[in-house]
Structure 1
Amino acid sequence: MNKNKIKILIVEDSLEWIKFHINLLNQFFETDLIEIDFEMSARAGFNKVIKKSETRYDLIISDLEMETILEEDYAGSWFVRNILKREECKNSKILIISGSHDIKEVANGFNVDFIPKYALSNNPEIMSYKLEEILPICHSEEQSDVRIYPENNIE
């Protein structure tokens, strides 16, 4: 077993989308090389990051539209803004996956990556391309046993 697992946190209020993300991640990575945590609200996700400060997540996937947080347009914005300030997240890659109409503007404002939910549901392979782009661990020689496997190859 690889002691250097890719650690992933999913913050999403829909159990169906959590399952969707986990299934995709398990298709793309060798399952013994990843460790996935999830929370169903922005506050719970933030608390997970704080409580597990010894865990450095390689990838954090967050929805935007979750519970209501006063003075915020999106709970996901609150979550991303606050984890970007955390030392334990300074090397984490953040990926917003949301159905929000202004996902691009929000993601660009935080300088993080994004995938619209409608695009991901229509073409799940988008996730593999995005992960290869944003996770340097997928390209490092010392992690050469880490592979991303799309379900189908696009020609």
Structure 2
Amino acid sequence: MKKILVVDDVKGWRDYNSNIMYELFGSDIEIKTAECASEAYNILLQEEPLDIIITDLQMENNYEPKFAGEWLVEQIKTFSRYINTKVVIVSASYNVRHIAGALGVECIPKSTALKCLSAYKEALGVV
């Protein structure tokens, strides 16, 4: 069973990304959601390793000058138990590709996410 965390401050995007995960992996998954980076971080502290983390960049402003999602990905990288976790940033931010590249994770612009299931397949390495 795949364990997945979906992080976004907009409920519609949490639901959308969760539905995409069900479409890709079927019902044999467990999805947790968080509406901000700090809530997601608390889940990371308590949770067994996750297989996939999908996160937005722009959420709460507590981590300026960084985006909240950027801070979250940096935190994920500090946990040895998340070394094999696939992390994907799904964001409308104009510099999502630059930030994701600097963090060494995949990204999907939200404009693409809305119309292209194959973008998720590619980012997650799903055949």
TM-score bracket for the superposition, by shorter chain length: over 0.9
Match of 2:43 in 1: 48
User: What whole-Å deviation, never above 9, does each CA across 1:75-133 have from its counterpart, x for those lacking one?
Assistant: 111111111111221111110000000001100001100000001112233213332x2
List alignment gaps of at least 5 residues for structure 1: 139-147, 149-155
Match of 1:122 in 2: 115
CA RMSD of aligned residues (A): 1.4
Partners of 2:92 and 2:59 lie apart in 1 by: 11
2:17 pairs with 1:39:
no
121-130 vs 20-29, greater mean Cα deviation = 121-130
Partners of 2:80 and 2:71 lie apart in 1 by: 17
Partners of 1:28 and 1:71 lie apart in 2 by: 34
* SS at structure 2 position matched to 1:65: coil
Instruction: Write out the 4+ residue segments of structure 1 that deviate beyond 6 Å after TM superposition.
Output: none
C-alpha distance 108-27 of structure 1, shift in aligned 2 (>3 A):
same
Asked if the contact 2:63/2:71 (under 8 Å) is kept, the reply is no
When normalised by structure 2's length, the TM-score is 0.93
Within the candidate set 84, 87, 90, 2:83 is matched to 90
When normalised by structure 1's length, the TM-score is 0.77
Whichever residue aligns with residue 22 of structure 2, its letter is: N
Partners of 2:118 and 2:62 lie apart in 1 by: 32
Partners of 2:20 and 2:45 lie apart in 1 by: 26
Partners of 2:63 and 2:106 lie apart in 1 by: 25
Asked which structure has the greater CA Rg, the reply is: 1
Name the count of aligned residue pairs. 127
List alignment gaps of at least 5 residues for structure 2: none
Asked if the contact 1:72/1:78 (under 8 Å) is kept, the reply is no
